Structure 1
Amino acid sequence: MEKVIDQSYYSTIEERETMYTFLKVVFEAPLTIDTLTQWKENFTPAFIDILTIENEALYQSFEKLRNSDLESFEAEEKAAYLATFNVFNESGHIPAPPWESVYVTKDRTMFAEPVFQMRKQWESFGMEIVNKHRVPEDHISIELEFMCYLIDFTREALRLSNKENFVRGIYTQFWLLKDHLNHWVKPFTRDILSSDTSDFYKGVAKLLQLFVEEDVEYMKSIKEVLDHE
């Protein structure tokens, strides 16, 4: 455990948790005035620069947020969210279904094996999703929320010098990335980018794919060190 822990590891924990939390909020529901107000007041230029590196669509969205009326921004992005991700949108068609099962089954069905795999892992940590029979556990926001939980679980194990839980936390994070998020985020992103959604959601989709691809390699390197301890 000691081989993977240095000052950069602590800072990376915070950076990863911040990014996953941001992505979870974006995909779990339409943006609210409260959320937009928090972003406008608390997101520093440096953090926005990190979010929008080589991502012009997302950069322009934050510029629009900075300069526009919150109510109009909220209304536009709510309409975009519902039209892109919500099963009850006006067209009756979901351009970018936010459930893993859709992307790993031949008939693009919901409530397939990923739901039960995710449920089993949540339960193994003594957790249960509220309204689990209404919102499948393989929804993108729930998988991102689970990653946030695992990061916090691993940090707490580190604080308590609990090697068993630390290793468990690292291995489960890698499992979530390798066997789930990295397995379907690319086609999910492709669906978002090919839809008529807003620049904000197209920018966030690019951020999601890039971050997951980078994070799976980072967690792989951490896991490999633990494998050889």
Structure 2
Amino acid sequence: MILNTAKLVGSLFYERWKKQELTQVLVALAEENIVSQQCLDALEVQSEEGLEHSFSHLFEGLGEMPAPPWGSVYLDKDRVVFGESTVEYRAFLASHGISLDTGLREPEDQFGLTLYAFSQLLAEEKEHASQHLLEYHLLPWAFPYLDLLNEKAGNPFYSVLAVDIKAWLMRVSDELQLNIVNRKLYLD
């Protein structure tokens, strides 16, 4: 169950969906209590153009990003993409036979892509590696990232989505009895 949910959640932060498709994904996630009715309501009032603009601004780097979705921005002292933590994460993925080749020159530590990698490890029944990915490579920065996204998204849908996904990740952490590594974070 977590495997499919992680893929769907990852897609919300990585793939540009049309509003109708996005609604279908969110209805499925709401049925599993992953997202709230408030999230569905916030999506309902969004225009297609508003969603596209917000997605570009929040996840693709259109202009100054209020909440960058890459782990290295939070884990590396210089707060850059493709930082030391990205290299470390890339080595972790390679050691488990995972390639996140999207056809673009982009860091693998993007929030949505990291959830894809997590789901792939689960699909391959690499339980220890999937837990390590969450404990060391994603969750140390994911909660502050989602808090920042909630605060600075400038779009009620993405603000509520950030709150809902943070709550889901906390439930996953409890369910899997994860020990999240306390890594040094570089926040403003």
Match of 1:172 among 95, 110, 129: 129
1:191 and 2:148 correspond: yes
Matches within 5 A, 1:109-128: 109-128=80-99
- The separation in 1 between residues aligned to 2:76 and 2:29, in whole angstroms, is 41
- The alpha carbon displacement at 1:185 in A equals 1.0
Counterpart in 1 of 2:34?
Answer: 51
Is the CA contact 2:72–2:109 (under 8 Å) kept in the aligned structure 1? Answer: yes
> 1:94 offset after TM fit, Å?
0.8
Percent identical: 22
Please tell me the residue identity of whatever aligns with 2:64: H
Matches of 1:82 and 1:93, distance apart in 2: 11
Q: How does 1:208-227 map to 2 (within 5 A)?
A: 208-220=165-177
Query: Which residue does 1:85 correspond to in 2?
Result: 59
Q: In structure 1, how many angstroms separate the alpha carbons of the residues matched to 2:121 and 2:72?
A: 22
Q: Which has the larger radius of gyration?
A: 1
Q: CA deviation digits over 1:149-196, x for unaligned, max 9?
A: 011111xxxxxxxxxxxxxx1111111111122100122112212214
CA distance in structure 2 between the aligned counterparts of 1:180 and 1:207, rounded to whole angstroms: 20
TM-score where L is the length of structure 1:
0.68
C-alpha displacement of 1:214: 2.1
- Distance in 1 (CA, whole Å) between partners of 2:100 and 2:28 is 33
> C-alpha separation between the residues in 2 aligned to 1:104 and 1:191?
15
Measure, in 2, the Cα distance between the counterparts of 1:188 and 1:45.
Answer: 21
Q: State the 1:79 CA deviation.
A: 0.9
Aligned to 2:71: 100
What is the CA deviation profile of residues 5-36 of structure 1, one whole-angstrom value per residue up to 9, with x for unaligned ones?
xxxxxxxxx2x123212211111132235733
CA contact (8 A) 1:20 1:147 kept: yes
2: distance between equivalents of 1:184 and 1:97?
A: 11
- The yes-or-no answer on 1:31 pairing with 2:17 is yes
Per the TM alignment, residue 84 of structure 1 is displaced from its structure 2 partner at its CA by 2.1
Aligned counterparts of 2:30 and 2:87: Cα–Cα separation in 1: 39
Which structure shows the bigger proportion of residues in helix conformation?
1
Counterpart residue number, 1:73: 47
Q: Which residue of 1 aligns with 2:159?
A: 202
Q: Which residue does the alignment assign to 2:41?
A: 60
3-state SS of the aligned residue for 2:177?
helix
Structure 1 residues 34, 194: closer, same or farther in 2, change over 3 A?
closer
